Structure 1
Amino acid sequence: MEFKNIDEQIIQKYREDETLMIRLFVQWCANHQLDPQLLYKKAYPHQQANEALNAVIESDDGFEELFIDNETMLDVLQMFGNEDLAFVVSDEISRFQRK
């Protein structure tokens, strides 16, 4: 029975970390006046709308003051295995640098 509790704790911790990653992504997009849903759709064109992303966008609980630097954003996305999204973010960063 204790193993089940540990498994549940691990799953809960992963979900919390994933939500933080999404919040950082949404904030990074806000910092650069980008639409997080549009970038997500660009990275994952065949997926349905991401409910966790929508929930974070709707909750908008005051991350506005936080600036997420580009390297941190890419590192966080890659850490969670979101290579496709990291690639799209990297393209956006390149676009900023060309301006």
Structure 2
Amino acid sequence: MEHENRDEFIIKKYQQDEAVMIQLFVNWAMRNDLDPVQLYQRAYPSQIKNEALLLAVEETESFDMEIGDDTLLELLQMFGNDDLAFVVSEEMERIQRK
């Protein structure tokens, strides 16, 4: 019984952390006048839609969560979003060239 509760806790914690990562990505994109859904589709063209991403976009009213470029890239990679991290890094380079 205790083992099941611990497993549930770990899964729930991972999902909460993933939701924060998505929210930070959405905030970063919107702060830089980029469409987070379009960036995600560039990274993962075979995925139909990401419900968590769409929910985060809907819930984002202000861009008050700020995150550094390097931190965002590390966070994306930590959650296995290497393709998205690559697309984001391309956009970061484009922004820096402006």
AA in 2 matched with 1:26: V
Q: In 2, Cα distance between the equivalents of 1:83 and 1:57?
A: 21
Q: Which residue of 2 aligns with 1:7?
A: 7
Counterpart-to-counterpart distance in 1, 2:76 and 2:64: 21
Do 2:27 and 2:60's aligned partners in 1 also have CA atoms closer than 8 Å?
Answer: no
> What count of residue pairs does the alignment treat as equivalent?
98
Gaps of 5+ in 1: none
Q: Contact (CA 8 Å) 2:28, 2:66: kept in 1 or not?
A: yes
Structure 2 length-normalised TM: 0.94
Match of 2:37 in 1: 37
Q: Could you list the runs of 5+ residues in structure 2 that have no partner in the other structure?
A: none
Q: TM-score, normalised to structure 1's length? A: 0.93
Q: Distance in 2 between matches of 1:4 and 1:95?
A: 47
Taking only aligned residues, the RMSD between alpha carbons, in angstroms, comes to 1.1
Deviation per residue, 1:36-95 (Å, 9 max, x gap): 000000000001100000111112254x22322211111110111110000000000111
Contact 2:21 2:75 in 1 (8 A): yes
